[in-house]
Structure 1
Amino acid sequence: MVRMSAEERREIVIRAAITEFSRSGYHGTSTETIARRVGVSQPYLFRLFPNKQAIFLAAAERCLVDNTRLFAQASEGLSGQAALEAMGAAYVKLIAEDPEMLLMQMQMYVTVAAAEAAGDHSFGESLRDGWTRLYDSIHRTLGGDHAGTKDFLAHGMLINTLVSLGFPPDHRLWVGVKDEPPALPGK
């Protein structure tokens, strides 16, 4: 049997956390559920991460880093409209093939909003930094075009919302958004 390093276990926990948090949100997901999915004990989970918040933040940060990398790879060597279209196509493909990433993003926004409303700014501080890096990367790719960056992100959020709410591909709200809207499995 091959023994995994703590870093390899951390990676497995982050992936499992994305799955669980994307399904049940921060408050609806227990660390016991994540530990069980990974096949470790809860005490071992807490040797890898100090608490549930740290696990959630690692999962959310991974989501942001993966999206930033996705856009950078899709637009490599491209500029302007070609870069915009390549990034958009890559994102639509991602959420069609890995809807947990989309759902994790949506859970991230809900969790930050709820924490901020309750006076806990720790979620928001960390995730705003990650989201700012995502924004800046897209902004650089689009040649510093503020309007283009905001339009791209607004378009993506519209897609996120329509997919998350389960609007069928033939619904009138998809008109003009894209040719073939992605759908969550089972929708």
Structure 2
Amino acid sequence: MSAEERREGVVRAAIIEFARGGYAGTSTAAIARRVGVSQPYLFRLFPDKRAIFLAAARRCTDEIRGRFAEVSEDLEPEEAADAMGEVYPDLLADRDRLLFQMQMYVAAAVADASGDPDFATEVRELWVELWDLVHLRLGADVARTDEFMALGMLINVQLALGFPPDHRVWAGYLERNPDFLDGGGAGGRGG
């Protein structure tokens, strides 16, 4: 395998490991084991654990942003909101990616609290890039952007907590989007 293919493997493995253990609770040894490389080789690909986490965070947010950009291109704001909302369940179908998203927010908060504001800033910048795309596609309407992003976060939390599709916390959302928890999207269930 080329170094680039190994880097790709590290990013995929890191998403899984960080999703399950968080930033502080995940060792580079666990990531190296999952990829099937030695720790010294891992550090030839990435300078440190922080760089691995940030590469995984970049991948995760780039995938969401890229898919949103693709489906909302040249659409009016209401149509763009619908199109992005329709693909979001597919982006959450992989539970590790969902949980990694949640770990990104925790890692930024912990970094701020522990005196590493640069790390927190880098994670926040990824979120801002996503917010900016959504904001532009929704006609630069702050209220509409906030509502879209807030609903996305609510969905993330309810899925991460594992609420089943028939739980009352989904009632309002499923009333408007009855197929959301059916099929392959969002893991095909509420968690």
Q: What is the TM-score of this pair, normalised by structure 1?
A: 0.91
**In 2, distance between residues paired with 1:157 and 1:10?**
29
Deviations 1:44-65 (A, max 9, x none): 0001111111111111111111
AA at the equivalent of 1:126? E
Structure 1 distance, partners of 2:16, 2:188, is 14
TM-score by length of 2: 0.89
State the partner residue of 1:72: 69
Q: Match of 1:85? A: 82
1:56-109 CA-to-partner distances (Å, cap 9, x unmatched) read 1111111111111011112123222211111011111221x2222211110011
Following superposition, which runs of at least 4 residues in structure 1 exceed 4 angstroms of deviation?
Answer: 183-187
Aligned ranges 1:56-135 → 2 under 5 Å? 56-95=53-92, 97-135=93-131
Distance 2:102 2:66 in 1: 19
The alignment status of 1:53 with 2:50, answered yes or no, reads: yes
Deviations 1:140-170 (A, max 9, x none): 1111111111110000000001111111111
Q: 2:145 aligns with which of 143, 146, 149?
A: 149
SS at match of 1:175: helix
Q: Is the 8 A contact 1:99 1:184 kept in 2?
A: no
Residue among 29, 38, 43 paired with 1:41: 38
The aligned length equals: 183
Q: 1:14 to 1:184 in 2, by over 3 A?
A: farther
CA RMSD after TM alignment: 1.7
| Structure 1 gap ranges (5+) | none
